[in-house]
Chains A and B, each alone.
Chain A
Amino acid sequence: MGKKLVIVTCITCPQSCAIELVKTKDDYEVSGNKCKKGKEYAIQEVTNPMRSITTTVKTIFKDFPRLPVKTDKEIPLNDTFLFMEEINSVLVKERLKPGDIVLKGIRNMDINLVATFGL
């Protein structure tokens, strides 16, 4: 079996380098990057990319049926849908403001869901 190759589009600067990565024994063979930052970014992206989730949750209010929310920290991209499943079951019953916690400790992690707009 040939070595697995992954191409990452770098977004650390406008040059948008297409960086190629191949896994070696305990490191990565990186090519196509034009700077050091690009290499770090690319390795992060193929090992454990982190993202914030921005979405909505249900409310009980007829004039405001959905409240926009976000995770207060970045989460592993890999867990996105697991997080979404939990977020989808939330029902907001209070008139919240931006920054208010909607859901504490999602998936029992130190990550909260916070409101991003006021009801």
Chain B
Amino acid sequence: MLITQKWDVIVIGGGPAGLAAAISAHDQGAKTCIIEREERLGGILKQCIHDGFGLVTFKEKLTGPEYAWRYIEQANERNVPVFLNSFVMDLKKEGNIFKLSLINSKEGAFYLSAPAIVLAMGCRERTAKQVFIHGTRPAGVFTAGLAQYFINIQGHMPTKKCVILGSGDIGLIMARRLTLEGATVHGVYEILPEPSGLTRNVVQCLQDYCIPLHLNTTVAKVHGKNRVEGVTINSVKNFKPIPGTEKYIDCDALIVSVGLIPENEIIEPLNVPIDPKTRGPFVDQNLMTMFDGIFSCGNALHVNDLVDYVSESGNIAGSNAANFAKENLQKRNLIPVTPKDNILYVVPQYVDLNQKSEVVIFFRSSRTLRDVKLKVYSDGNNYISKKYKVVRPPEMERIILNLSKVPSNISEINIELKGE
């Protein structure tokens, strides 16, 4: 018989979201553990050696590893148990209890059970093939995160001269990082008419080092049999290549930073409903999914722009998971928060009107807009009006909705951005 260990809250993932969740669940008095598949805590922050983290939470500019270290220390101070190098093979529900099968080298195979689970698995990178880059398949096509791991953790250079596709933050950060390590970055190519990363990164990672940013341009083809020898780039209009604009660029690598996808495969067998827009589960304000007892936070919930928000969501998910484990929740009265005009998505996608507290709501605009007004409303009631000088899809916006102002009998809350 394999051993089953009982917990109140099990947190899957030991990155910034999972650490925050475990700490807050523990502080609520729940018997909490963390499962981490790598040999160290910290998640992706371990390789994000650049600074700019923690401005919201700590009011200072920390590097990724420093930010992670603070949370690791907090978890250590509380002696939160961590299963390192451990992999969740299966997640099942038995009665009111979740049962996880795990394996690792030390304990072999075993079970953990708990009434509440926090999902904090982070996200993975979209690959070159997933954005349909064609041509040959030589060595030298890397996602930006993989290149970052090679350089920052393993201390090896995956390129001497490269092209970066996608102006997401990791792509921009890598352009600077590669330059500092002596590689040549020919340019960053972005299929959209505007950069996908934060302006700060465009300025400090590209402009500082005279690395050109080519908008409305994409990589059409990779050349080279064994190693990348070059790429063909192409101007685009409405995502379609413009014939005659092809240009060959000599390089030994193509680094792609073309988006992140929340990792939620673990809950597929439970059929937890997933928002096709965020690719994370639908949640309420407590970050509980539509499946009672399963909570989601960080980049597994939706891809965040700032790690501070990742920790904040971990915090919310962790303490609510602890509460759930203690007293089990009474029935929820869920109504949708519906993205209307110019809103790309909203998290949480639902609110439970049986709770009258303040709710943190994140949204992204579907395009760059200037001088717009945000409205949160339902039939006849207006809860929030707020003016924005500018909103951009790469930047998340955070608002607070006070549910005590919301009547219990409405059927949905709408959120929209409109020009004045």
Contacts and interface: CB of A to CB of B under 8 A. Distances in A.
In the complex, A touching B, CB below 8 Å? yes
Most buried by A among B65, B208, B395: B65
A84 interface: yes
Interface string A46-66: 000101111110100000011
A16 B201 CA distance: 12
Contacts of B50: 54
Most buried by A among B151, B199, B392, B395: B199
Interface string B1-24: 000000000000000000000000
Interface size class of A (residues with CB under 8 A): 20 to 34
A16 B180 contact: no
Interface of B: 42, 46, 49-51, 61, 63-66, 68-69, 151-155, 177, 180-181, 199-200, 202-204, 207-208, 389-392, 395
Contacts of B63: 54, 68, 70, 116
Task: Name the 5 nearest CB pairs between A and B, nearest first.
Answer: A117-B65, A68-B49, A66-B155, A116-B63, A65-B155
A116 B389 contact: no
Contacts of B202: 9
A15 interface: yes
Contacts of B64: 68
Contact of A56 (B49, B66, B390, B395): B49
Given A15-B390, A65-B154, A70-B63, A51 B180 contact: no
A54 to B, nearest CB: 5
Contacts of B207: 9
A90 interface: no
A52 B204 CA distance: 11
A13 B208 CA distance: 19
Interface string A80-119: 1000100000000000001000000000000000001110
Most buried by A among B69, B391, B392, B395: B69
B208 A118 contact: no
Given A9-B199, A11-B200, A117-B46, 19 more contacts: A9-B207, A11-B203, A11-B204, A14-B392, A14-B395, A51-B204, A51-B208, A52-B61, A54-B49, A54-B50, A55-B180, A56-B151, A65-B153, A66-B152, A68-B64, A68-B152, A84-B180, A98-B66, A116-B69
Contacts of A16: 199, 390
A92 B161 CA distance: 28
A98 B180 CA distance: 22
A56 B64 CA distance: 13
Most buried by B among A9, A77, A117: A117
